[in-house]
Amino acid sequence: MTTPPHAQEELDLIAQTVDRVSTADAAVLAELRTEVLGRKAGKLTLILRSLGSLPPEQRRLLGARANQIKQALETAIAERERVLQDDTRRTVDVDGTMPARHAWRGARHPVLAVVDEICEIFKELGFTRVSGPEAETEDYNFTKLNMPLDHPAADEHDTFYLGPGALLRTHTSPVQARVMEQYQPPIRIVVPGRVYRRDAFDPSHSPVFEQIEGLAVDEGISFVDFKAGIDYFVKRFFSPDTVVRFRPSFFPFTEPSAEVDVQCQMCKGSGCATCKQTGYLEIMGAGMVHPAVFENCGIDPERYTGYAFGMGPDRITMLRHGIPDIRLLFENDMRFLSQFVS
């Protein structure tokens, strides 16, 4: 091993290459690395290798300098490589002809937005939102609600049975029974949830749909309180000038019973296709809770009275937005749903 001639001058030249690194491209960088740091014939490698043969004093000075340059050079090369790599990545990623990426924004389903709105309005009247099981027993779904099993609504053809005596609830009313068994009045609840019936899946029917049930029980609740409560809701939900109509009806769990109509929102009562030229749309079934239901659920019908109502948020959503087909609410088609992103 021989000492390279003019090692000091050689080191000065090598030190200058550090400055060249910061502007080098990938090819020049590779050349530089071989030329200076190459294992076999790199200029700096040779100098470092020759140090052993130098007198101690010279070895110390030259060695320190050579190592300092080596370190500076390696750092500079690593840094330059990182920059070059970033640039490459950037160049590859950008394609000016690609369409912009669409940032999808989520929103509540239009039916759930209506459910929340209805519950909020009843909250103003002191109602609490509760929920209950979708798999029910015949007892809670029918019997306790004064619907004997031979009642038409309990017909097997309308009900999804899960097994003997077990079924998918056909309405949210079983939650009324469960709450009345657990709590004594005053009771004021709204119960949103999914219900199931063996219906066709066509523009106006679905085997699964949303329902909201309401129940108010206390001493001295009269038919006037019932009408006032419903009237308040309708005017808050639709508009203050909405005309409400109560039509006598029959349900096994209420007596007297009424169907509640509101003036058609589309034609303002003059008659159109939506309201089938009647000027009114039915929005709920309701009435004063039947004393037999109170008895079945452990509430004294001599002391307490109350009213109950049930409505279909799917239908109300369709009316509000002019949606012609209930199936649109279940198909999760983004072209439909994205209209409700506000």
d(CA 302, CA 323): 45
47/66 Cα distance (integer angstroms): 8
Q: CB 262 → Zn ion: shortest distance, Å?
A: 11
Cβ-based nearer residue to Zn ion, 127 or 280: 280
Smallest distance from the beta carbon of 182 to Zn ion, in angstroms?
42
Q: In this complex, which beta carbon is closest to Zn ion, that of residue 243 or of residue 266?
A: 266
* Spatial contact of 14 and 71, defined as CB atoms under 8 Å apart: no
By beta-carbon proximity to Zn ion, the closer residue of 208 and 266 is: 266
* Residue 83 vs residues 22, 78, 88, 93: alpha-carbon distances, Å: 9, 9, 9, 16
Number of residue whose CB is nearest Zn ion: 264
Nearer to Zn ion, 29 or 266 (CB): 266
Spell 177-203 as b/e; 16+ CB within 10 A means b.
Answer: bbbbeeeebebbbbbbbebbbeeeeee
Cβ distance to Zn ion smaller for residue 3 or 274: 274
Neighbours of 65 (CB within 10 A): 17
Q: State the nearest-atom distance from the C-beta of 282 to Zn ion, in Å.
A: 12
Judged by beta carbon, residue 66 or residue 319, the one nearer Zn ion is: 319
Q: How far is CA 18 from CA 29, 35, 65, 85, 274, in A?
A: 11, 13, 14, 19, 82
The site for Zn ion (CB under 5 A) is made up of: 264, 266-267, 272, 274-275
d(CA 300, CA 245): 31
Q: How far is the CB of 315 from Zn ion (least distance, A)?
A: 14
CA distances from 327 to 114, 170, 291 (A): 17, 19, 38
For residues 256 and 288, the answer to whether their CB atoms sit within 8 Å is yes
Query: How near is the Cβ of 275 to Zn ion at its closest, in Å?
Result: 3
Please say which residue, 148 or 322, places its beta carbon nearer to Zn ion. 322
Q: How far is the CB of 243 from Zn ion (least distance, A)?
A: 12
In whole angstroms, the minimum distance from the beta carbon of 95 to Zn ion comes to 53
First-residue to last-residue Cα distance in the chain:
80
- Which single residue is written with the structure tokens 């190459």? 38
Q: Which residues contact 299 (CB under 8 A, 6 or more apart)?
A: 180, 184, 185, 217
* CB-nearer residue toward Zn ion: 151 or 276: 276
DSSP state for residue 36 in the 8-state scheme: I
Nearest approach, Cβ of residue 320 and Zn ion (Å): 14
